[in-house]
Amino acid sequence: MIPRYARPEMLEIWEPQTRFRIWFEIEAHATDALAALGTVPRAAAARIWEKGKDAVFDVTRIEEIEAVTKHDVIAFLTHLAEIVGPEARFVHQGMTSSDILDTCLSVQLTRAADLLIADVDGLLAALKRRAFEHKSTICIGRSHGIHAEPTTFGLKLAQAFAEFQRGRERLVMARREIATCAISGAVGTFANIDPMVEDYVARKMGLTPEPVSTQVIPRDRHAMFFAALAVVASSVERLATEIRHLQRTEVLEVEEYFAPGQKGSSAMPHKRNPVLTENLTGLARLVRSAIIPALENVALWHERDISHSSVERGIGPDATVHLDFALKRLTGVIDKLLVYPVNMQRNLDRLGGLIHSQRVLLALTQKGMSREDAYAAVQRNAMPVWRGEASFLDLLAKDGEVSSLLSQAELENLFDLCYHTRHVDTIFRRVFGEA
* Among the listed residues 377, 372, 369, the one whose alpha carbon sits nearest the alpha carbon of residue 398: 377
Say which amino acid occupies 362: L
Active site residues: 144, 265
Instruction: Give first-to-last CA distance, the chain, whole Å.
Output: 41
What's the rounded Cα separation, in Å, for the pair 219 and 146? 44
Find out whether 351 and 144 touch, Cβ atoms under 8 Å.
no
CA dist 166 → 158, 309, 362 (Å): 13, 30, 35
Sign of CA dihedral 34, 39, 40, 46: positive
Cβ pair 105, 19 in contact under 8 A: no
* Contact yes or no for 104/180 (Cβ under 8 A): no
d(C-alpha 122, C-alpha 333), whole Å: 12
Local structure of 305: helix, strand or coil: coil
Query: Distances in Å between the alpha carbon of 268 and those of 45, 246, 264, 276, 338?
Result: 67, 21, 8, 18, 22
Return the ∠ at Cα 51 (arms to 185 and 205), rounded to 5°: 45
Which neighbouring-strand residues pair with 37?
Answer: none
Question: Coil, strand, or helix at residue 140?
Answer: strand
What lies within 8 Å, CB to CB, of 252 at 6+ separation is 246, 340, 343
Distance CA 101, CA 192 (A): 18
Q: What is the DSSP letter of 215?
A: T
Q: Side chain identity at 396, as an amino acid letter?
A: L
- Helix, strand, coil shares, percent, the chain, to 5: 65, 5, 30
Using CA atoms, how far apart are residues 435 and 432, in angstroms rounded to an integer? 7
DSSP 259: -
